[in-house]
Amino acid sequence: MNLRSALCATCLVGLAANSSAIAGTNDILIGLDNKITYGPDGPTNGAPGNDAVIVVDVSDPAKPRIRASLPLTNSLLGPPTNLQITPDGKLGLVANSVVHVQDGDAWKSVPDDKLYVIDLAAEPPKLIDTVTVGRQPSGLSISRKGDLALIANRDGKSVSVVSIQGSTVKPVGEVPLEQQAAAVVIAPDGKRAFVCMNLVNKIGVLAIDGEKVTYDKSMDIPSALNPYNIDITPDGKYVIASNTGAQKNNADAEVIIDATGPHPHVVDVMSPGTGPEGFAIAPDGKTAATPLLLGTAAKDSDWFKTKVGELVLMSIGTDGKLTVTARAPLGGLPEGVVYSANSDYLYVANYFEKDLQVFQLAGGKLTEVGGSRLKLPGQPASMRAPAR
C-alpha cells in the first residue's frame, strides 16, 4: 500500500511538472496600459504605476481564463506586437516602448529601452530578467527555432538582435536603419526578416546568419502609408504589411509582398477598412484577421468618430491575395488579435471595454462565442501567442 501511494505521488508530481512545463504553449500574453485614458477630446496621459502584463490560458479555446498578472510597465504607443512567447512556451518577452514622466501638471511619454523576460513554466509565471535594448522598442518577433528575437526600435531607428538560450536572454547586436522602425517579422526558415520603416513608407529586408543580422538599403520595398504591423505566412512565401497612414475614416491598406527569391517585391494591395493596427496570420496560413479601429479613438467632435470597431476575416489565396470573407462588431479601440493554435478561434482585446472577445471560425465565417467575453483588469494595449 505504501509503495502504491508512493508511485501515485510520483506520477502526480510528474504530471504537475509536465503541465507546468508546457503551460505556456496554451498561453496568450496581454499588455495592459493604464496610463492613457480617452475622453471627449481624445487621449490623455496619466500617472504611471498601474500597468500589468497578464497571462491568459486558452487550453480550452472557447473559455479563456487569466492565470497570472505581473505588474510590468506596458505601452499603447506602438503596434500591439511588443510581446511574444517562445515556441516552446517557456518564456515570454515584453518590450516596453515608453514611460511617463511628470511635465508640470501633466505627464509626457519618453522613450524606454527595457525588455522583460517572463518565466511561463513557473507556477505562477514570474519575471526573471530585465535587459536593455534599443530606444523605444516596439514590435518584436521570435524565430521559429526560438533562439533569436528581433525588436524594432522607433526612437532608436534600429533593430535589436537578442539571443535566447534556455532561460538566458541577451542582446547581441544592433542593426542601424537610419529610420524609425515600428514592427518586424522573422521568416520561418530564419534566414530573413522584414521590418516596417513606418515614417518613410518602406519595408526593409534583413539578412540573418546565426546571430549576425545585416541590412541592405538597396532591398527596401515601397509600401503604403505608415506600415505599422507585419506578419508572414507559415510557408514563408508572403509577407503582409498592415498600413495605417490614411486614417480619418479613409481606407488603409494591406500590402502583400512576395518574400521569396533574391528581390522580395509587392504583388498586391487591398484595403480591409480603416485602422488595421492589429493584424495576424493564422498558424495554418489560410486566413488573416485585423481588428479595425475605425474612428473609436477620435474626438467626439470629429466627423469620423465611431463607438465600435470591426473584426475583418480574410482568406489568403495561393497567390497571396487577401479576400474579405466575414466581418463582426467589436468594442472600442480594439488593439490586439490572436489566433488559437488550431486556427479555429480568434481573440480580440478591446481597450475601452477592458475585455476579450472570442470568435469561432468555420467556413470563412465568424461567430462570437456566447457569454465568453473575459473581463480584464485593465486596458489591453497588445496581445500575442507563442511564435509558430
* Predicted confidence (pLDDT) per residue in 286-333, tens digit: 999 999 999 999 999 999 999 999 999 999 999 999 999 999 999 999
More confident residue, 10 or 201: 201
Helix (H) or strand (E) holding 16, with range, is helix 2-22
Grid cell listed for 169: 536572454
| Residue 199 DSSP one-character state | G
Chain mean pLDDT for the chain: 93
The rounded distance, in Å, linking the Cα atoms of 188 and 191 is: 8
Q: pLDDT tens-digit profile of 231-290?
A: 999 999 999 999 999 877 788 999 999 999 999 999 999 999 999 999 999 999 999 999
Any bridge partners for residue 83, and if so which? 94
29 confidence band (pLDDT: 50, 70, 90): very high
The rounded distance, in Å, linking the Cα atoms of 277 and 106 is: 27
Give the pLDDT confidence score for residue 24 in this predicted structure. 81
Instruction: Name the residue with cell 514570474.
Output: 126
Give the pLDDT confidence score for residue 88 in this predicted structure. 96
> Cβ atoms within 10 A of the Cβ of 132, count?
12
* Contact (CB, 8 A) for 98 and 107: no
Share of the chain above pLDDT 90, in %: 91
Residue 301 has φ and ψ, to the nearest 5°, of -85, -10
pLDDT exceeds 70 at position 124: yes
Grid cell listed for 162: 537578442
Whether this prediction's pTM lies above 0.85 is answered by yes
Burial of 106 by CB count in 10 Å (0-12 exposed, 13-18 middle, 19+ buried)? exposed
CA dist list (Å): 94 to 78, 117, 293:
13, 7, 23
